[in-house]
Chain A
Amino acid sequence: MWTLIQIELFKIFRRPRTYIAFAAITGLIGIIQFGLKLDGDSYVEFMMRDINSSITVEGKILNGYQVCYIVLQILLVHVPLLIALVAADMISGEANMGTLRLMLTKPISRTRFLLAKFLATVAYTLLLLIWLAVMALFVNMLIFGTDDLFLMKSQYVVLLKENDIFWRYVWAFGFAALAMTTVASLGFLFSLFAENSIGPIVATMSVIIFFTILSTLNIPIFNAIKPFLFTTHMIGWKEFFDIRVNEANEAIVGSIQNPDRILRSAIVLVVHIVGFVTAAIWMFRKKDILS
């Protein structure tokens, strides 16, 4: 199995397409960094316009932690496209190239073959997120320094102390990995049904865009189905940046407002991943390879 995964990773990382995602993340974050470094004050001013009528926020708002949060907020909605680019190509790309039939005449069971491919996709997803973490968190910590993190939520604002942030990012990236793995498993499932990668990539993105819009729409009739959409749970990483307060309304350092909600979202995502992968294996085992 390890050999299979190694081979799949070797194939993934020998393809130019793989590096599009890494380059895209580097470029996008680079642009955001450049922009904020140059004109961060006006961005902060713009960001604060909604709150400045009530309170004044003093201090170094635009620090590395803040920039990382901004980057994640912008990017994590679009990273699924980069994941889909590779995940939705895993089977369909091989079918298109004509290598699938050759692979499957080798003495490897289809289940193992598919699992190895999926695990390689997950490895790619994780590496992409690690790269994202390096670029968005560590590089920004270097460029902008670290300080307290001031966040505006829809109902309230949160101020996290500098020493109470890093662990939240570690968990947030872990959660994001789970969310992106869900995207990867969906793309992976779709990649079974086509002999070119465009279809599955577009299908994966369409589902995510469609579900995300439903998740975002604040129309009561849709609220009932929101909990059942995996996209609703994909932004669960933000929950790590919400802090609990005690009776006196003092934030409790090291606490999370809704750990149960994170857990629930994580479970929903894991169920989706298991469901998508199981469905993929079930269908792939029966599939006639005609490519």
Chain B
Amino acid sequence: MFRSISYFLVVVAGSLSLTVQAQDMTGLISKVKAKLDQVNDYEADGRMKTDVAFIKAPVGKVKVYYKKPNKFRLKKDGGISLLPRGGVSVNMNSIIATADFIALAAGEASVGGTKTKVVKLLPANESNDIVLTTMYIDEANLLVRKAVTTTKENGTYEIEMSYGQFSNYGLPDKVVFSFNTKDYKLPKGITLEFDDTEKELTEAEKIRNKKGRVEISYSNYVVNKGVPDSVFK
């Protein structure tokens, strides 16, 4: 998923904008791309939080590395990470490969109190898993605030980004990845649980309705100081 988030940025900022065929949106996207192009590489610490109704996981520490044009790596010091299936399996490489989008203006909207331009990106290629991507671009600061992607196989997911110290590089402080989760339930015969879980049920119900979210807060960005290729292996 982290890969996808970053690829998203890469896609938005990089190759995608060069091939966008749309009317006045092309300019905006090239500007966003140009801003992101200042960053040749970076590394940062991340604090990853998984918020899915049926997942109880602690906050984990991760380290992310990026290098132009599309190298991205999320590293955990060992450990196990739980990632939404859609987020990982959406193959951004294919988007980059085809890089064949139509960008359409779709009005304006407010994201977290910030006025944004809504841009709809449609892949020209029918075989692409992505059906539609909607981007909310903060025109004044040239930052992508939010992106909603609908896929054929993995449903719809949403990425929301907030910026802080490194907004002039277009690097977010926090990325929230939202997605729909399927119901999870295993028979007690398999999990070998005997106890009555009436209390648990209500508690589970309470959180069941929530959408799944994965949140990464970044800190300690080190930008353009060089990242060795070896970390991406």
Contact = CB atoms under 8 A, between A and B. Distances in A.
The short answer to whether A and B are in direct contact, CB under 8 Å, is yes
Interface of A: 50-61, 73, 77, 147-150, 152-162, 164, 212, 215-216, 218, 223, 226-227, 231-232, 235, 238, 242-243, 245, 248-253, 261
A157 B56 contact: yes
Contacts of B88: 56
Interface string B39-71: 000000000011111111111100000000000
Given A55-B85, A152-B186, A155-B185, A147 B55 contact: no
Nearest to B55: A157
Contacts of A55: 52, 55, 82-85, 181
A185 B189 CA distance: 27
A56 B58 CA distance: 16
Contacts of A251: 56-59
Interface of A is mostly: mixed
Nearest to A245: B56
B192 interface: yes
A58 B84 contact: no
A235 B80 contact: no
A61 B80 contact: yes
30 contacts: A50-B184, A50-B186, A54-B181, A57-B80, A59-B76, A60-B78, A60-B80, A147-B80, A148-B78, A154-B190, A155-B185, A155-B197, A155-B200, A157-B54, A157-B82, A158-B57, A159-B50, A159-B58, A159-B80, A215-B194, A216-B189, A226-B194, A226-B196, A231-B194, A235-B192, A238-B192, A248-B51, A249-B56, A250-B59, A251-B58
Interface of B: 49-60, 76, 78-85, 88-89, 181-182, 184-197, 200-201, 204, 207, 210
Contacts of A156: 53-56, 184, 204
> Taking each of B58, B82, B88, B190, which has the highest tally of chain A beta carbons within 10 Å of its own beta carbon?
B58
B79 A161 contact: yes
Given A154-B185, A154-B186, A162-B78, A216 B85 contact: no
A54 B204 CA distance: 17
Contacts of B190: 154
Given A156-B54, A156-B56, A54 B85 contact: yes
Contacts of A238: 192-193
Can you list the 10 inter-chain pairs with the closest CB atoms, starting with the nearest?
A59-B80, A159-B57, A156-B54, A251-B58, A215-B194, A148-B80, A249-B51, A54-B182, A154-B191, A158-B56
Given A147-B78, A159-B58, A160-B58, 7 more contacts: A56-B84, A150-B82, A154-B188, A155-B54, A227-B196, A250-B58, A250-B59
Nearest to B213: A249
Given A155-B54, A156-B204, A249-B51, A58 B81 contact: yes
B194 A59 contact: no
B49 A250 contact: yes
B184 A54 contact: yes
Contacts of A250: 49, 51, 57-59
A104 to B, nearest CB: 40
A155 B79 contact: no
A147 B80 CA distance: 8
Contacts of B84: 54-56
Given A153-B186, A238-B193, A148 B79 contact: yes
Contact of B78 (A59, A157, A232, A243): A59
B149 to A, nearest CB: 17
Nearest to B198: A223
B5 to A, nearest CB: 15
B82 A159 contact: yes
A13 B105 CA distance: 83
Given A55-B85, A59-B81, A231-B194, A216 B188 contact: yes
Contact of A59 (B53, B79, B85): B79
B207 to A, nearest CB: 6
Contacts of A73: 192
Contacts of B59: 250-251
Contact of A152 (B58, B80, B81, B191): B191
Given A54-B85, A59-B78, A232-B195, A154 B187 contact: yes
